[in-house]
Structure 1
Amino acid sequence: MNPADRDCAPVSTSAGIVVVFYRPNAACVQRANRLADIGPVVVVDNTETKFNASGIGLDERIVYVSNGSNLGIATAINQGVDRLLEAGCASALVFDQDSEPSKHLLEHLPVVLAAELRCDAKVALVGPAYEDARLGGVAPFVRFGYLKLRRVAPTGTRPLNVDFLITSGSCINLAVWKNIGPMEDDLFIDFVDLEWCVRARSRGYKLLGVPTLRLAHELGGEPVRIFGRPYPTHSPLRHYYLFRNAVALIRRDYVPWTWKSTELVKFPFRLAIYGLFLRPRVGHLRMALTGIWHGLTGRMGRFEQP
């Protein structure tokens, strides 16, 4: 039975939007401006130089937070969510600066969340299936499994229970934000969304993938083809965060061994790919190994060059 058809208490569909900027170009500003017609929008800018909203061409209806420093994706999302809570929003749609959500997605995702919450208050997050044409089209949803992720095809009309949703395009139930807690600032970037999802699940909340909704989203940099398969790439610095945060999460008790075992299997393959296929090879390997060491020794936060 569809939750919307059951005789349950009504739930607000009032949604706000958080967009995280980092060195945005004019196209990023234009995308954010189009969102101002949908509802309250908060743009949090992690660019190293402080700007004002009119100076970069933002719509005057948008709340603009210029950090003047790269504080990381987690802190930026937390700042945006705090502003939406102050505005009385029931949910928060979160997007990267490159995301271009359709009007259909913007209007329907908060409605899906509200429909599910009518009879089940333990839903923390809903999100669409994302589509990256460079990596083969629509990506499956994910459930954790020992040694290998279990991929769930985004088919059917009902939301699907999943273990993880990427941040961009997701819709957060702000009624449970304080119970779960904010995104973890010390992770900075990479696995920020995964850690929050795992923490929410560990506290009894559900994550729902919505197979009828799509978001065009590019995952990582330009892919490289390895044995005929496209593989997303990042900078050496991003690979530092990827390995460091993976190691840090593997050491935590509330993170399930289903996910830990999968990451441990991936470690040698990732190192081999960085060392053989990406340039500069030494740079990628050095930053990955530094990340592993910092994860083991508990060095978190933003990476500072020695």
Structure 2
Amino acid sequence: MKMYKILAYITAYCDKNALDACLHGISNQSYPVDRVFILDNSPEPLIISDVSCLPLTVKNAQENLGIAFGISEALELAVKGKYDFLWMFDQDSIPAPDCLERLILTFDENVNKKCLSIGIISPTPIDSRTGEIIQPAVFKGDHFEGFPVDNFNSPYQCDSPITSGSLLAVYTADSVAPPDIRLFIDGVDLDYGLRLKNGDYQNIVVPNAILQHTFGTPVELCLFGVNKIFQRYSALRYYYICRNHTYLELSFSKGFYKFTCVLRRLQFLGSQFVWIPMIETENKLQKIWACLRGTYYGLMGDLDQQFSSRYNVLSYFKQSEI
């Protein structure tokens, strides 16, 4: 097997146990990683435990700069350090011991045998609490849609795999801009993956490369006799989900699809008015307000409006009266 120079990157935020578990998973790989870069966004710097024998580079931001910023920083380090790959992680992800080896084998097979230009090689992320596979995405004219994965036993292509656990070929930085830091958290993978695809790079998911990943806070409801899993989020996450997905889908849509995209996003907003009161247990009005604000700024194409805890419908109207 060919040996590559690999930089692993972790976005850390206020969860030392999750960071330790992620570091342990990276250090326990059957294929070696050369260095780990950690961007610690915690207000109080986390104490990094000695769970890894790997060389570490830690940057303490002491504010939440977001996933997109961290990946951009890590990619810049990877370019300067002449690494071949950047292995990207959220702190709540744990790769199986052979995960990286399977990603590298798939890269070599597709580059050497099929002569493909590879952007991202992604593992199969499984929600450790529900056992559900977190689907990669494809863009369907006016919206991103989860890619059905149940029938795949061999590597397959998609538009946008999840960034956490994904292996990014560093040479793509020569022709594709890094993630937009204004996206902050949600939709970073959708945007970056599709831009790589549009730049003539292929993104491939490897079914037998496993990543344990936590995604939101799952809650199971029985609707019309069918059990369905929904995800609970903070108001911050609702804001960025609505803003970024609206902005990205509208940006990638062309012609008449822009009109249908707007209708879809308004329909999604309306659905949140139904689901949030049903599945959320606290801050329901604030979360609905976050969806409203996020959708509005997404439609306006304004990514400079960041989330603030001030986005509360009651406080907003109270301030308007002054």
Query: TM-score w.r.t. structure 1 length?
Result: 0.84
After superposition, residues 200-215 of structure 1 pair within 5 angstroms as: 200-215=196-211
Q: Distance in 2 between matches of 1:264 and 1:129?
A: 31
After superposition, residues 1-306 of structure 1 pair within 5 angstroms as: 13-33=4-24, 35-36=26-27, 38-39=32-33, 40-50=35-45, 55-58=47-50, 59=52, 61-118=55-112, 119-145=114-140, 149=145, 151-225=147-221, 227=223, 228-253=227-252, 257=257, 260=261, 265-278=267-280, 279-301=282-304, 302-306=306-310
Larger mean Cα displacement after TM superposition, 245-254 or 209-218: 245-254
| Secondary structure of 1:232 counterpart | strand
**Structure 1 residues 293 and 145 mapped into 2: Cα distance closer, same or farther (>3 Å)?**
closer
Count residues in correspondence.
Answer: 294
Q: Distance in 2 between matches of 1:230 and 1:83?
A: 39
Contact 2:235 2:287 in 1 (8 A): yes
C-alpha distance after superposition, 1:106-163 (max 9, x if no partner): 2221232233222435221111222125445334444344678363325444321112
**Structure 1 residues 193 and 206 mapped into 2: Cα distance closer, same or farther (>3 Å)?**
same
Contact 2:186 2:241 in 1 (8 A): yes
Contact 1:164 1:194 in 2 (8 A): yes
Q: Distance in 2 between matches of 1:264 and 1:73?
A: 27
Partner amino acid, structure 2, of 1:41: V
Contact 1:155 1:211 in 2 (8 A): no
Q: Distance in 2 between matches of 1:70 and 1:158?
A: 38
Larger mean Cα displacement after TM superposition, 135-144 or 74-83: 135-144
1:4 is matched with which residue? Answer: none
Contact 1:143 1:152 in 2 (8 A): no
Q: Distance in 1 between matches of 2:191 and 2:289?
A: 25
| Secondary structure of 2:173 counterpart | helix
Partner amino acid, structure 2, of 1:269: S
Q: Distance in 2 between matches of 1:263 and 1:129?
A: 28
Query: TM-score w.r.t. structure 2 length?
Result: 0.80
**Structure 1 residues 144 and 178 mapped into 2: Cα distance closer, same or farther (>3 Å)?**
same
Contact 2:26 2:94 in 1 (8 A): no
Partner amino acid, structure 2, of 1:286: W
Contact 2:126 2:213 in 1 (8 A): yes
Contact 1:149 1:262 in 2 (8 A): no
Partner amino acid, structure 2, of 1:291: G
1:7 is matched with which residue? Answer: none
Q: Distance in 2 between matches of 1:155 and 1:164?
A: 18
Gaps of 5+ in 1: 1-9
Q: Distance in 1 between matches of 2:156 and 2:14?
A: 35
Larger mean Cα displacement after TM superposition, 214-223 or 269-278: 269-278
CA RMSD of aligned residues (A): 2.9
2:318 is matched with which residue? Answer: none
Q: Distance in 2 between matches of 1:148 and 1:191?
A: 10
Gaps of 5+ in 2: 311-322
Deviation, 1:269, is 2.0
Contact 1:132 1:139 in 2 (8 A): yes
| Secondary structure of 2:179 counterpart | coil
